[in-house]
Amino acid sequence: MATTGTVILDFGAFPGASHATVAVTGQAAIVAGSLVEAWLRPVATADHSADEHIVETLKVVAADIVAGVGFTVHGLNTNQLNNPATVDSDRPARVGRQDQQVRDLGGQGTRIYGTWTVAWVWN
């Protein structure tokens, strides 16, 4: 039978971060070859509603298995929105609204904040 549980993944206070981790310990029977999965569970936290868990651009994975101990849950922001800025570097510019030149910062500054419910299973 599979072992299951939940943890709270915390990206910190606003404005938050693009990556957060939480260690799952106390898994004495886990081995290096165990299959581990993690996913956002739509259960409200102090910071986010269940609906926000469904629509947020958050990827959750389980990795870094330590035999007899546990694993790490990683949360990553997958948002691809870009924050425009005035042209002041060697990056190519594009024409923005009202014919202003802006440059594409490649998603810099996209962050997630607060706590999120993550479910996991391994066998």
pLDDT tens column, 29-85: 999 999 999 999 999 999 999 999 999 999 999 999 999 999 999 999 998 665 554
Q: What is the pTM of this model?
A: 0.77
Q: What is the mean pLDDT of residues 106-114?
A: 73
> Into how many domains does the chain fold?
1
pLDDT tens column, 3-22: 999 999 999 999 999 999 99
Tell me what pLDDT residue 42 has. 98
pLDDT at 1 over 90: no
- Positive or negative, the CA dihedral 117, 35, 33, 3 is positive
| Cβ 26 vs Cβ 68: under 8 Å | no
pLDDT at 98 over 60: no
Please report, for residues 8, 55, 63, 73, the alpha-carbon distance to residue 118 in angstroms, rounded to integers and kept in the order given: 6, 14, 14, 8
- Residue 105: domain span: 3-122
